[in-house]
Chain A
Amino acid sequence: MTRWMDEEAGPVVRPYALVGGRTRSSGDALDLVALVTATGTTPSGGFVPGPEQERILALVTTATSVADVASEIGLPLGVVRVLLGDLQDHGLISIGRASASERILKEVINGLRAL
């Protein structure tokens, strides 16, 4: 049974029960540092956000990274991605990502020096 437990892994669980066994492919707009922001609109098509999704919506009133959402809500990333995908499909959040420019990188270097 050592396959099931090791230093970097916890016990075997079934977090996918929360999202009906669904997964979502990675590498798309739900990158770990993509920024999630609530749109503030009412759900379309009779969609009712679940309790975890309500917690997410309360958290992302200001732009919050996908990784921070998972960390704050305390759910594994894959589950959070599915919850976010549903919110996005119903127009309740927008997900964006700004790329690094020269100016930003210089700012980061100076910011790190000042730490």
Chain B
Amino acid sequence: MDFEPSDEPVALKILIAGGFGVGKTTLVGAISEIRPLRTEEVLSDRGIGIDDTDGVEGKTTTTVAMDFGRITIREGLVVYLFGTPGQERFWFMWDELSYGALGAVVLADTRRLTDCFPSIDYFEQRGTPFIVAVNCFDDADRYDAEDVRSALDLDPDVPVLMCDVRRRASAKNVLITLVEHSLKVLTASQS
């Protein structure tokens, strides 16, 4: 028997990935209440050229602001959006971000399509359900979803859609497409 107490609070995590300037922060802001969140990056002693043998006291960190938004579906059911930091030195955060994630939106810009390769590779390897949302910038040439799919060499079951993340309705549609895809993946894994 499937026992699910309806009052048990549930918090879900959706990741927003893609290259620098592709619209991650804009998407989170268009659809959710943005909240301040900082994490810290420990600068390795080797990386900053200091020969520190004193241990933890000498540990230097820099704080990094993260894109973080919250959508309350109802009391006790909240969806959190996290933008994945774009720079390579933040890869260490991706594992913890994607741990238990419902899915990921990979934002793409057709003028710089290769920028989203690392994200796609990452989620494919990790088995995180993802979709590709092409953020249509005003001065970019128009392509259709199938062009993008073949350029990115995506599996046929990965949804690809066009969007304008500045528009709330479009941002909403992106998230709905992702959760529908995650639901499909979940259902398939159970049958």
Chain A positions near chain B (C-beta within 8 angstroms): 3-6, 8-16, 20-23, 26-27, 31-35, 63, 65, 67-68, 70-71, 74-79, 97-109, 111-113, 115
- A-B contact count, CB below 8 Å? 160
Contact in complex: B183, A65 (CB < 8 Å): no
Q: How far is the CA of A71 from the CA of B61 in the complex (A)?
A: 18
Indicate whether B118 reaches chain A with its CB closer than 8 angstroms.
no
Which secondary structure dominates chain A's binding surface? mixed
- Of B93-101, B145-153, B157-165, the stretch lying at the interface with chain A is B93-101
Which secondary structure dominates chain B's binding surface? mixed
Contact in complex: A63, B179 (CB < 8 Å): no
> Which of B96, B100, B180, B182 contacts A97 (CB under 8 A)?
B100
Nearest opposing residue in chain B for A75, CB measure? B38
- Please tell me the number of chain B residues within 8 Å of chain A, measured between CB atoms: 60
Contact in complex: A65, B78 (CB < 8 Å): yes
Contact in complex: A74, B36 (CB < 8 Å): yes
Given A68-B70, A76-B38, A107-B73, 10 other A-B contacts at CB below 8 A? Answer: A3-B47, A8-B64, A10-B63, A31-B99, A65-B80, A68-B35, A70-B37, A71-B36, A102-B190, A105-B183
Contact in complex: A10, B64 (CB < 8 Å): yes
Nearest opposing residue in chain B for A99, CB measure? B100
